[in-house]
């Protein structure tokens, strides 16, 4: 059992339902699954601003209209945002160049439909909550909180698809919390390891929220795709975002964000040391 320390690190007003974050060059980027902004915090100057992708950007969108941005990842100097794909209007993604500050929208409908068709996953069970890019493979984390518990990782050999892409889906089961299995909520890659979050929520729906029962962090070795460890880090939080903050001689430090499933526009960023 690894030791860990979890403490509040930053607080923000105006951001609710935080679902993903990236820390890079002393800049923190935060997405929300109820907003179509990208929130940016400069840790040096403490300035907070919003990066607007749409003419009609909103902070607290209705459940049936929101793009449900659940994943944000960095490759080179480009941030990639992904909708969850859990409904037809949640297939949108964005690419933002941190150099030019230009953003481009991407429709992932065909991409997600290929996943569902290849592995016979019903629309009602599909729910992408984390994405990370490796050197040869890209990993899409399917949260198995639907009725059939399709909790696992889609592995694709580079993007975009070629005529015959290499596709694989590996399912994972984690130790239950209060009789409910945690399911993936985010992941990041560090060298040849994937560090992931998974949350237990008392619901069988990818759309409707349930009672939060806790969250774990774990590690997958990409050479074997075996889970090396999991740690129960909370019995009350639904952590949905994970980013590396610092590697020290004493361990690894991460920043986490929480989706509190409410309309309150407040966010606490937590610091996790393991």
pLDDT digits over 136-180, tens only? 899 999 999 878 889 999 999 866 555 666 899 999 999 999 999
pLDDT at 13: 84
The 10s digit of each residue's pLDDT in 89-109 is: 899 999 999 999 888 988 999
- pLDDT of amino acid 143: 95
5-273: CATH topology is Neuraminidase (2.120.10)
State the chain's mean pLDDT as an integer: 89
pLDDT at 210: 73
| Domain spans, the chain | 5-273
**pLDDT tens digits, 202-245:** 876 555 567 899 999 999 999 999 999 999 999 999 999 999 99
Distance CA 9, CA 78 (A): 26
In whole angstroms, what is the distance from residue 145 CA to residue 131 CA?
A: 17
Statement: residue 58 has pLDDT above 80 = no
pLDDT at position 204:
67
Cβ neighbours for 51, distance < 8 A, ≥ 6 positions apart: 37, 38, 39, 40, 96, 101, 103
* Residue-by-residue DSSP string for 28-97: EEEEETT-SEEEEEETTT--EEEEE-STT--SS--TTT---EEEEEEETTEEEEEE--SSGGG-EEEEEE
| Tokens standing for residue 110 | 């065909």
Residues 6+ apart with CB under 8 A from 140: 115, 128, 130, 131, 153, 154, 156
Over residues 10-22, the mean pLDDT reads 87
């Amino acid at each position: 059992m690894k030791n860990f320390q979890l403490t509040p690190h930053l607080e923000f007003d105006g951001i609710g339902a935080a679902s993903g974050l990236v820390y890079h060059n002393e800049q923190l980027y935060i997405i929300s699954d109820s907003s179509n902004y990208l929130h940016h915090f400069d840790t040096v100057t403490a300035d907070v601003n919003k990066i607007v992708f749409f003419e009609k950007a909103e902070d607290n969108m209705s459940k049936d209209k929101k793009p449900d941005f659940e994943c944000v990842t960095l490759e080179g100097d480009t941030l990639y945002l992904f909708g969850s794909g859990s409904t037809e209007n949640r297939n949108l993604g964005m690419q933002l160049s941190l150099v030019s500050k230009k953003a481009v929208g991407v429709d992932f409908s065909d991409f997600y439909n290929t996943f569902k068709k290849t592995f016979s996953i019903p629309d009602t069970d599909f729910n992408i909550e984390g994405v990370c890019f490796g050197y040869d493979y890209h990993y899409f984390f399917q949260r198995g909180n639907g009725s059939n518990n399709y909790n696992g990782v889609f592995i694709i050999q580079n993007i975009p698809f070629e005529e015959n892409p290499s596709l694989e889906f590996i399912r994972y089961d984690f130790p239950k919390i209060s009789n409910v299995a945690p399911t993936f909520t985010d992941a990041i890659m560090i060298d040849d390891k994937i560090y992931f979050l998974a949350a237990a929520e008392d619901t069988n729906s990818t759309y409707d929220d349930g009672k939060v029962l806790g969250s774990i962090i774990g590690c997958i070795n990409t050479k074997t795709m075996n889970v090396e460890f999991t740690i129960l880090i909370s019995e009350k939080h639904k952590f949905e975002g994970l980013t590396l903050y610092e590697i020290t001689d004493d361990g690894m430090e991460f920043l986490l964000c929480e989706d509190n499933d409410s309309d309150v526009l407040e966010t606490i960023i937590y610091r996790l040391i393991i």
